[in-house]
Amino acid sequence: MRRLAIIMIAALGLTALAATAAQSVGSKAGALVELALKGFGGADSVSATSSLVAHGNAEKPSGAPAAYSFYVTNAGDFRLDLVSGSRSITRTRSSAGSYFSSGGGRLEKVEVDDDWRLVFEQKSLGLVFELLRPELRPEYSGMGFIEGKRYEKLVLYDPAAPALLVVLDGKTGQVKRTFMDTGQGPGGVFEMRFSDYSQEGELVLPHSFDEYVGGRQVLRVKLDEVLFNNDVSPHLFRP
């Protein structure tokens, strides 16, 4: 297995959820959800995934290398670790809330801006799961052309977070870009760009992504290993 992952998993049958989404938000949004599932390998493959663990390497604009790990379960628990030399950063989200630590210290409740960033990372890296959560309201946002290629656009509205714009490749269904503006100035504008898609088991996943804050690149990640359905300790997601 090699490198990145966008799919978070769904414990429920995604086909049924996609049908519900299509009925509630119209055929355009429903068609885009189906297109995204096609790009990731299909509802059957995604619904059979109960957990995902990925490891790889990251690089900041400064050039400092870092080890990168990502954990997610079908309960929506999420953890991201970034370790560079003696410095480490951990972000977690669980049913108990969101936590942040720096330097490997004790996890503490995140501030508002960090919380928005964590929401964005969770949505971007767990896109299929987030797309089909019943409380989200996906709305069709039209289509356009980027570098001569047609793209579909979908806007997701979450009661707990700002709107997330998802740009899909109109032919393959693969996610090319996600974007969120929290309305808190340049530091609250987040973007992820996904690339290097290839097969991982029955799923097609992006194997690299770039993260931008306020239009400035802050991280580039390439994953070396992706593990599905491993036992993941619940203690990973607790402070």
- 31-57 tens-digit pLDDT: 888 888 888 888 788 778 888 899 999
Strand ranges inside 19-160, DSSP E: 51-59, 65-73, 78-84, 87-94, 97-102, 108-109, 137-146, 149-158
Residue ranges and CATH numbers for the domains of the chain are 14-237 (2.50.20.10)
Q: Per residue in 77-136, pLDDT tens?
A: 889 999 988 888 888 888 667 888 888 777 777 766 677 787 788 788 878 767 777 778
Q: Is the confidence at residue 235, as pLDDT, over 70?
A: yes
Among 92-96, 151-155, 207-211, where is mean pLDDT lowest?
92-96
Q: Give the pLDDT confidence score for residue 23 in this predicted structure.
A: 44
Among 14-23, 69-78, 161-170, where is mean pLDDT lowest?
14-23
Rounded percentage of the chain residues whose pLDDT exceeds 90: 24
Query: What is the per-residue DSSP string for 92-125?
Result: EEETTEEEEEETT---EEPPHHHHHHHHHHHHHH
Would you say 209 and 193 are in contact if contact means Cβ atoms under 8 Å apart? Answer: yes
The DSSP call for residue 44 is: H
**Hey, how many other C-beta atoms are within 10 angstroms of the C-beta on 207?**
21
Residue with more model confidence, 219 or 159:
219
Q: Is the confidence at residue 193, as pLDDT, over 90?
A: yes
State pTM to two decimals. 0.81
Q: Give the pLDDT confidence score for residue 183 in this predicted structure.
A: 86
The DSSP call for residue 11 is: S
Q: Give 79's contacts (C-beta < 8 A, 6+ positions apart).
A: 69, 70, 71, 72, 90, 91, 92, 93, 236, 237
Mean pLDDT of 169-173: 90
Among 7-16, 85-94, 157-166, 178-187, where is mean pLDDT lowest?
7-16
Q: To which residue do tokens 């290398």 refer?
A: 65
Q: Give the pLDDT confidence score for residue 195 in this predicted structure.
A: 94
Mean pLDDT of 63-76: 86
CA distance linking residue 57 with residue 82, whole number of Å: 9
Q: Give 227's contacts (C-beta < 8 A, 6+ positions apart).
A: 1, 52, 53, 54
Coil, helix or strand for 60?
coil
**Hey, how many other C-beta atoms are within 10 angstroms of the C-beta on 190?**
24
Q: To which residue do tokens 């109109």 refer?
A: 170
Please report, for the chain, how many H helices and E strands are present, in that order.
5, 13
Q: Is the confidence at residue 236, as pLDDT, over 60?
A: yes
